[in-house]
Amino acid sequence: MTNNTFEEKLKLLEMTVRKLEENDLSLDESKELYKEGIKLSKECKILLNKTELEITELKKELEELDFS
């Protein structure tokens, strides 16, 4: 996984999709861009899942605090 932030990865993914939609690529170029898009998509999903887990854990910690 690259060290880019979620936002950077998402921007790269959007750029990749735009390039694929231009229709002026060879089959090999399209295939490589598609692979890159899948990779970026997976990395974004991993970061989202990790963040969701962290938020869930923080909420659980907050619920366990006794404010009485």
pLDDT tens for 6-38 read: 999 999 999 999 999 998 999 999 999 999 999
Q: CA distances (Å), 42 to each of 11, 26, 54, 60, in order?
A: 14, 24, 18, 27
CA 40/CA 33 separation, integer angstroms = 10
The amino acid at 49: N
What pLDDT is stored for residue 25 in this prediction? 95
What pLDDT is stored for residue 66 in this prediction? 72
CA 16/CA 36 separation, integer angstroms = 8
Q: CA distances (Å), 16 to each of 4, 10, 30, 44, in order?
A: 15, 10, 10, 14
